[in-house]
């Protein structure tokens, strides 16, 4: 056996990861269920480094040094289970199987437990950065055992993106921790994209700016606090002109956003954990609304009158910029809350600051301000919320005016801004002294004797609403 690591599943992501490892001097065993894909891969990319191609799974397994490390890069779900089943019988005690797809962390936990009985270390590994990242340096979130990371760590840290000499790869925690963190990453990606899309919509629909001008605005924003991959490619997409029609590309694309499901998972899991990730939830629902063609068509016929956009001055662009940054801070704070909560719930010991560190490069949400998030958790590992840490608190104070103005202006103009409005409501809810949740508690007690607590003394109480004297009793 000569290969340092094996990879089965040579679609674009898999073949790019294999090439990346080979380019870094690792000998990579490659396999694909349809053999021609494997031979085509070797024909096209064999010169990238040392590969050992095998037609059968048993030859593939035999070609890898022990303890073996094998990356599975096939479709999430049944296809993954099928490959795992086939491989299980061929592996030895201490071998490591890595699922590098976007699997649900609960599936990863289930698979790990099942394989533990066979002495196999199963690893859920989140890989972000798309096809480009896989080839040139992704961000890699590794779950699973310490034994598995000892074997995998040197290779994944080698092929990951590097920022200031630090690899954007880490052992996030045991079992499903890697896929959990990748899932939250994608949820934050949804929230971030929704806010960027709303900023574009408001500036176009209220301030009347054209896509080409807005590309310039985004390009400028990318030189400040907002500097990030998503802002950079937003400028790129807005500047793009459709070759067929000569119209802005963004005007010829159907306005119904799709989703493969990781954002939805994030919200489902957040509901179970009880973490209010309102930014991610609004983003998932906004995509869903965009795809409800029948309802949109029906509403457009009945409520056809357009609202007049209020007049705005030059300073509106700056208001949108500060609003975007403030709303982003809220969305990221919620995402990090979820990581902390998930880690506590599953006893994973995830280091929140380390997640910010490995997201600084390679992944879709890579951004300058992740450095600030890393610093915040370095200073205060048990930070209650990112929103109150000095740098982010300043961003929120500076963005608050803009955020209110964007939400009120957009609302007056009939432009939907669920991301901005949700961020503002979350911010206001946290900072307010009293919330109307007190009335909700009163209603619950009134119709269902669900009890309440008081502000002035300990205990649980119920008011006998049906009696004349409405006596309060201790429950
Ligand atoms: C990444 C991306 C990647 C993929 C998304 C797209 O981190 O590289 O998040 O995983 O592009 O899953 O997700 P949707 O199809 O759900 O938008």
Q: What is residue 1's predicted lDDT score, i.e. its pLDDT?
A: 84
Dist. CA 34–CA 51, nearest whole Å: 17
Phi-psi region of 322 (alpha: psi -120 to 50; beta: other; left: phi over 0): alpha
Q: What is residue 373's predicted lDDT score, i.e. its pLDDT?
A: 97
Q: What is residue 127's predicted lDDT score, i.e. its pLDDT?
A: 97
CA 338, distance to chain mean position in Å, is 11
Confidence of residue 34 (pLDDT cuts 50, 70, 90): very high
Q: What is residue 307's predicted lDDT score, i.e. its pLDDT?
A: 86
Residue 250 pLDDT exceeds 90: yes
Q: What percent of the chain has pLDDT over 90?
A: 97
CA of 54 to the centre of ligand 1 (A): 30
Q: Whose CA is nearest to atom 7 of ligand 1?
A: 128
Q: What is residue 273's predicted lDDT score, i.e. its pLDDT?
A: 98
Quick one: three-class SS letters along 78-113? HHHHHHHHHHHCCCCCCCEEEECCCCCHHHHHHHHH
DSSP labels for 436-474? THHHHHHHHHHHH---B--SSSSS-EEE-TTSSS--EEE
Residue 77 pLDDT exceeds 90: no
User: Which atom number of ligand 1 is nearest to the Cα of residue 186?
Assistant: 9
ipTM value = 0.96
Residue 191 pLDDT exceeds 90: yes
Residue 76 pLDDT exceeds 90: no
Residue 305 pLDDT exceeds 90: no
Cβ 289 vs Cβ 198: under 8 Å: no
Residue 153 pLDDT exceeds 90: yes
Residue 306 pLDDT exceeds 90: no
Q: What percent of the chain has pLDDT over 70?
A: 100
Tokens 């380390």 belong to: 354
Computed over every residue of the chain, the mean pLDDT equals 97
Residue 471 pLDDT exceeds 90: yes
Dist. CA 342–CA 270, nearest whole Å: 9
CA of 67 to the centre of ligand 1 (A): 31
Mean pLDDT, residues 189-203: 98
Query: What residues are designated binding site for substrate?
Result: 102, 128-130, 185-186, 190, 260, 287, 444, 450
Residue 242 pLDDT exceeds 90: yes
- Tens digits of per-residue pLDDT, 359-372? 999 999 999 999 99
Dist. CA 100–CA 126, nearest whole Å: 6
- Pocket-testing residue among 13, 130, 187, 359, ligand 1, by greatest number of atoms within 8 A of Cβ: 130
Show which residues are catalytic.
182, 189
Dist. CA 256–CA 266, nearest whole Å: 21
pTM above 0.95, yes or no: yes
Q: What is residue 308's predicted lDDT score, i.e. its pLDDT?
A: 85
């Amino acid at each position: 056996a000569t290969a340092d690591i094996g990879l089965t599943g040579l679609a674009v992501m898999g073949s790019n990861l294999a090439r990346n490892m080979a380019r870094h001097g690792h000998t990579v065993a490659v396999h694909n269920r349809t053999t021609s894909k494997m031979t085509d891969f070797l024909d096209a990319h064999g010169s990238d480094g040392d590969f050992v191609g095998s037609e059968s799974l048993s030859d593939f397994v035999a070609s890898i040094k022990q303890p073996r490390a094998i990356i599975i890069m096939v479709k999430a779900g049944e296809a993954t289970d099928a490959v795992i089943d086939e491989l299980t019988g061929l592996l030895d005690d201490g071998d490591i199987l890595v699922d590098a797809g976007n699997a649900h962390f609960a599936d990863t936990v289930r698979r790990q437990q099942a394989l533990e009985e066979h002495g196999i270390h199963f690893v859920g590994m989140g890989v972000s950065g798309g096809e480009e990242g896989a080839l040139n340096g992704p961000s890699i979130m590794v779950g699973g055992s310490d034994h598995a990371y000892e074997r995998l760590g040197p290779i994944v840290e080698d092929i990951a993106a590097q920022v200031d000499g630090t690899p954007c790869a880490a052992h996030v925690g045991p079992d499903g921790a890697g896929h959990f963190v990748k899932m939250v990453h994608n949820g934050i990606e949804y929230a971030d994209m929704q806010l960027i899309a709303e900023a574009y919509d408001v500036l176009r629909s209220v301030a009347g700016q054209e896509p080409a001008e807005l590309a310039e605005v985004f390009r400028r924003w990318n030189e400040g606090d907002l500097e990030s991959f998503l802002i950079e490619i937003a400028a790129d997409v807005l500047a793009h002109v459709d070759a067929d029609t000569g119209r802005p590309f963004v005007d010829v694309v159907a306005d119904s956003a799709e989703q493969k499901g990781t954002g939805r998972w994030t919200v489902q899991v957040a509901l179970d954990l009880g973490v209010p990730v309102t930014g991610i939830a609004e983003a998932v629902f906004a995509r869903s609304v965009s795809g409800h063609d029948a309802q949109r068509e029906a509403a457009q016929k009945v409520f056809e009158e357009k609202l007049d956009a209020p007049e705005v001055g030059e300073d509106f662009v700056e208001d949108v910029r500060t609003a975007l940054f403030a709303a982003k801070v809220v969305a990221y704070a919620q995402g990090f809350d979820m990581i902390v909560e998930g880690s506590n719930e599953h006893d994973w010991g995830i280091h929140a600051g380390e997640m910010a560190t490995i997201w600084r490069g390679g992944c879709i949400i890579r951004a300058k301000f992740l450095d600030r998030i890393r610093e915040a958790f370095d200073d205060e590992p048990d930070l209650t919320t990112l929103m109150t840490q000095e740098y982010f608190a300043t961003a929120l104070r500076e963005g608050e005016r803009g955020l209110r103005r964007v939400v009120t202006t957009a609302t007056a103009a009939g432009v939907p801004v669920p991301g901005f409005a949700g961020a503002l409501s979350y911010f206001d809810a946290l900072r307010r002294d009293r919330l109307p949740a007190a009335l909700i508690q009163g209603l619950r007690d009134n119709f269902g004797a669900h009890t309440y607590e008081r502000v002035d003394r300990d205990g649980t109480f119920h008011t006998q609403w049906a009696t004349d004297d409405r006596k309060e009793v201790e429950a």
